[in-house]
Amino acid sequence: MMNKRATAKDVADAAGVSRTTVSFVLNHTEGMRISEETRQKVMQAAEALNYHPDAAARSMVKGKTFILGFVIRQEPDKAYADLLLPEVMRGISEVASEHAYHLIFKPVPPADEKNSLTTLFLEHQVDGLIVSGPLANDQEIVDLFNANAPIILQGRIDYPNISSVDINNRKAAEKAVNHLISLGHQRIAFISNASLNYSSSKDRLTGYRRALEAAGFVYDEALVFYGDRTPDSGYQAMQNILRSSAKPTAIFIASDTVALGSLNALYQENIRVPEDIAIMGFDDIPLSKHLAPPLSTIHIPAYDLGWNAAHLLIKWLEHKEIPERDCILDTELIVRESCGSRHKDN
């Protein structure tokens, strides 16, 4: 017994009215006079038949899909390894739900022919896009934007007109490094969060450099190491530091996820944190405070990042309000134990 879904026609027949009337009643269409009696009949018929309007049909006539795309500009394995992402998603999906939008989530690495961003939008699978972690020169995004696609960026891009919801990575990094300097550290190493093709990585490195130079230290490339968003890369980078002649007294690791691997490497070598070396992270992933020792870091308002991006996008879609300014959210220095300025027993 294949229960076919009931259509508006079925409801109309059951209620003894026309499809038009059914549509008016169910959508509470303004300016249409329907007697209370018919309204009831329609409502009851719809209820009885368990009627739900077909999304595709509505989509076609409305010219909207009521679906938002959340796209990560990374390989799937890295995208899904990002521990901050779920919080961003939660922010987006909260707003989306509120406005009755759904969310398609998808990692779309740059230059991925078949699953390209463009396809997602041009096939009209989504009404608009939130793109996280664009490359600094992401031509596909620029093209899409110029083709009138509603896009909100999460991250900076070398193109002025596309608005973005982001943090000030440079300033935040400065804050972190300044704290280490204030604790008396003179040799501070740096491990990047990702390849410098990403603007966030570049900006965090710049912040590190500026803080050093502002304090009168020389920027030394021998103290700069690279991660690629994964704990393993942090482990590797730490190995490199330990085997190098760098001998820093503190390390600013521009990603808590990467720091995880670095801390593991230190643990294996019986190097104590913060007694032997001070560690400062970045991101404040949800578990940083649970590490041993709890990780000092820069808090990113991940949920708010998602929340704001979704809000701007939906405003754009519903009221044609194209955001004019970037939305830059505040970060916060979180001092825990890994950088040595506070002790367990405080």
Partner DNA sequence: TAATATTGGTAACTCGTTTTAGCAAAACGT
Partner DNA sequence: ACGTTTTGCTAAAACGAGTTACCAATATTA
- In terms of DSSP H, where are the helices of the chain? 8-15, 19-27, 36-49, 55-62, 76-81, 85-98, 117-122, 139-146, 169-182, 199-214, 231-243, 256-268, 302-319
Residue 109 C-beta-side C-alpha neighbours within 13 Å: 8
Amino acid, res. 303: Y
Single out the segment in contact with DNA by CB under 7 A; choices: 59-67, 235-243, 258-266, 296-304. 59-67
The single residue among 48, 60, 214, 292 that binds DNA, judged by CB under 7 A, is: 60
By CB under 7 A, how many residues form the interface with DNA?
Answer: 32
Q: Out of its own copies, DNA, none, which partner does residue 32 contact, by CB within 5 to 8 A per kind?
A: DNA
The single residue among 28, 50, 63, 324 that binds DNA, judged by CB under 7 A, is: 63
The single residue among 1, 2, 62, 275 that binds DNA, judged by CB under 7 A, is: 62
Q: Return phi, psi of residue 14, to 5°.
A: -60, -35
Q: How far apart are CA 262 and CA 136, in angstroms?
A: 27
**DSSP for 1-70?**
---PPP-HHHHHHHHTS-HHHHHHHHHT-TT----HHHHHHHHHHHHHHT----HHHHHHHHT---EEEE
Q: Which two tokens stand for residue 235?
A: 């482990």
Nearer to DNA, 35 or 245 (CB): 35
Residues 6+ apart with CB under 8 A from 114: none
Q: How far apart are CA 261 and CA 235, in angstroms?
A: 4
Q: Which of residues 255-314 bind its own copies (CB under 8 A)?
A: 257, 260-261, 263-264, 267-268, 270, 286-287, 289-294
The single residue among 42, 89, 152, 300 that binds its own copies, judged by CB under 8 A, is: 89
* Residue 26 is a binding residue for DNA (CB under 7 A): yes
> Do the beta carbons of residue 259 and residue 281 sit within 8 Å?
yes
Q: Nearest distance from residue 65's CB to DNA, in Å?
A: 12
* Residue 23 is a binding residue for DNA (CB under 7 A): yes
* Residue 119 is a binding residue for its own copies (CB under 8 A): yes
Q: Nearest distance from residue 26's CB to DNA, in Å?
A: 6
Residues in touch with DNA (CB under 7 A): 5, 7-9, 16-24, 26-27, 29, 32-35, 37-38, 51-54, 57-58, 60-63
Residues in touch with its own copies (CB under 8 A): 2-3, 5, 50, 52-57, 59-60, 65, 67, 76-77, 80-81, 83, 85-87, 89-90, 93-94, 97, 102-107, 115, 119, 122-125, 147-148, 231, 235, 257, 260-261, 263-264, 267-268, 270, 286-287, 289-294, 344
